């Protein structure tokens, strides 16, 4: 078994952050440019795509995309616009260049259509990829250099028994090693207000957690939607409180340092809660997280170089930018979907492993993926992404990404 001294070689960015992949990111700025962006990335190694579907811009979506564009796993960016939309690919390229990364941009209308744009895009991607492969400084990394996010989805009765607690055991190891652990889904903390506040590392953190909890409860009440779905009920979960307890088990047992928002990085080592619930806004933008993929994007935007996804019932999704590692507490799900699932925490329920052993084994898997071993979703080229309209009040400049 790998031990926690495990180290590997990563990629040093000009801003001092360290990545576990060295990617070119293609970003489209409106749905109309989506096909061209994907055509550019098709068959290109180490080239991922994200984009925003709307023609009208949204500060939250811009912050999210800029955080992803300057993610530690990203070395260079190509921004592609159609030419009519509000979000400006040139501005994205400027911000990315200011972070010390390479960036290019163009409008499809100015290039003369699809084929010319795809050809130009492929040239730019190839040139930047060659450059970051040749020029990026390689550095040793350990768990202390890692930010790992955890999301759960498709939860069943095993998620709270084995899947999430095994991540909790790993998070304790990660925090003790000096790393950063992030969990989110405050809408899946409903019913746990006192448990949550009791975990605060400081009075300030306690206040942040209380505010985030109260906002989540208000929000769920106002939209009449709690974070449980038909599959959860069929899997044996009956109430949001029950699901919350299972979801909260992924946090492990260490103190919570505070609350961050989407596109904000943790302000120091340790365990953090990510608040992805919309703030009050006259447009009442949508749901807190319409699907698992949006939650994963939020965790990546906070700088997670790797994300763990716990799913009792099984899921096939992956993610761009940061490798996704899929954990299930249900051994039957693992066997049925072994091609897609990375880690079988159900062995804890059969007595094959203790929870502490599961946490250490998961730490070993995270270190191997960080060292370059592809996770199952990476191997299958799963790179689902989801960036939608939402409103969150702009975070403080020192912590945000619009500086």
* Cβ 22 vs Cβ 29: under 8 Å: no
Considering only 245, 271, 299, 300, the residue that binds other proteins (CB under 8 A) is 245
Does residue 287 interact with other proteins by CB under 8 A? no
**Residue choice 188, 217, 340, 378 for contact with other proteins (CB under 8 A):** 217
In this structure, are residues 227 and 188 in contact, taking their beta carbons and an 8 Å threshold? Answer: yes
CB of 158 to other proteins, least distance (A): 6
Q: Does 344 bind other proteins (CB under 8 A)?
A: no
CB 313 within 8 A of CB 154: yes
Of 234, 283, 356, 380, which lies in the binding site for other proteins, with binding defined by CB under 8 A?
234
The answer to whether 54 contacts other proteins (rule: CB under 8 A) is no
**314-326 as b/e: b if 16+ CB within 10 A:** bbebbbbbbbbbb
Q: Is the dihedral of CA 296, 298, 302, 303 positive or negative?
A: positive
Q: Binding to other proteins by residue 349, rule CB under 8 A?
A: yes
Tell the smallest beta-carbon distance from residue 220 to other proteins (Å).
7
Of 118, 143, 167, 240, the residue at the interface with other proteins (CB under 8 A) is 240
In terms of CB distance, is 220 or 300 closer to other proteins? 220
Instruction: Count interface residues toward other proteins (CB under 8 A).
Output: 37
The region of 42-50, 146-154, 242-250, 381-389 touching other proteins under the rule CB under 8 A is 242-250
Residue with tokens 């990394």: 141
What percent helix, strand, coil does the chain show, rounded to 5?
A: 40, 20, 40
Q: Is 31 exposed, middle or buried (0-12, 13-18, 19+ CB in 10 A)?
A: middle
Looking at residues 169 to 208 of the shown chain, list those that interact with other proteins (rule: CB under 8 A): 190-192, 195
Q: Are 19 and 383 in contact (CB under 8 A)?
A: no
Asked if 332 is part of the footprint of other proteins (rule: CB under 8 A), the reply reads yes
Binding-site ranges for other proteins (CB under 8 A): 156-158, 160-161, 190-192, 195, 217, 220-221, 224-226, 228-242, 245-246, 249, 312, 330, 332, 349
């Amino acid at each position: 078994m790998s031990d926690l001294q495990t180290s590997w070689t990563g990629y040093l960015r000009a801003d001092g952050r360290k990545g576990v992949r060295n990617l070119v990111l293609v970003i489209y700025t409106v749905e109309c440019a989506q096909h061209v962006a994907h055509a550019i990335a098709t068959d290109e190694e180490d080239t991922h795509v994200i984009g925003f579907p709307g023609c009208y811009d949204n500060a939250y979506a811009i912050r999210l995309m800029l955080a992803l564009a300057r993610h530690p796993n990203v070395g260079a960016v190509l921004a592609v616009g159609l030419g009519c939309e509000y979000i400006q690919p040139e501005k994205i390229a400027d911000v990315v260049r200011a972070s010390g990364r390479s960036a290019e941009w163009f409008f499809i209308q100015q290039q003369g259509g699809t084929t010319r744009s795809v050809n130009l895009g492929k040239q730019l991607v190839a040139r930047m990829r060659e450059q970051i492969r040749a020029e990026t400084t390689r550095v040793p990394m350990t768990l202390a250099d890692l930010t790992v996010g955890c999301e759960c989805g498709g939860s069943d009765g095993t998620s709270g028994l084995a899947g999430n607690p095994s991540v909790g055991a790993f998070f304790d190891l990660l925090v003790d090693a000096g790393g950063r652990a992030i969990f989110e889904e405050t809408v899946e903390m409903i019913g746990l207000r006192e448990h949550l506040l009791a975990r605060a590392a400081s009075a300030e953190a306690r206040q942040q957690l209380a505010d985030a909890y109260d906002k989540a409860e208000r929000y769920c009440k106002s939209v009449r939607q709690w974070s449980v779905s038909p599959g959860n009920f069929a899997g044996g979960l009956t109430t949001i409180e029950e699901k919350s307890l299972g979801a909260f088990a992924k946090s492990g047992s260490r103190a919570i340092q505070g609350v961050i928002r989407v596109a904000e990085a943790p302000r120091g080592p340790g365990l953090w809660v990510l608040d992805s619930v919309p703030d009050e806004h006259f447009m009442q933008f949508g749901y807190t997280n319409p699907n698992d993929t949006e939650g994963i994007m939020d965790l990546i935007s906070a700088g997670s170089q790797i994300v763990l996804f716990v799913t009792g019932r099984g899921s096939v999704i992956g993610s761009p930018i940061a490798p996704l590692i899929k954990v299930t507490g249900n051994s039957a799900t693992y066997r049925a979907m072994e091609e897609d699932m990375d880690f079988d925490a159900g062995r804890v329920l059969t007595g094959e492993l203790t929870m502490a052993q599961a946490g250490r084994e998961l730490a070993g898997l995270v270190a191997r993926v960080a060292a370059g071993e592809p996770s199952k979703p990476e191997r299958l080229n799963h790179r689902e992404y989801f960036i939608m309209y939402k409103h969150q009040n702009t975070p403080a400049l020192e912590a945000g990404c619009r500086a």
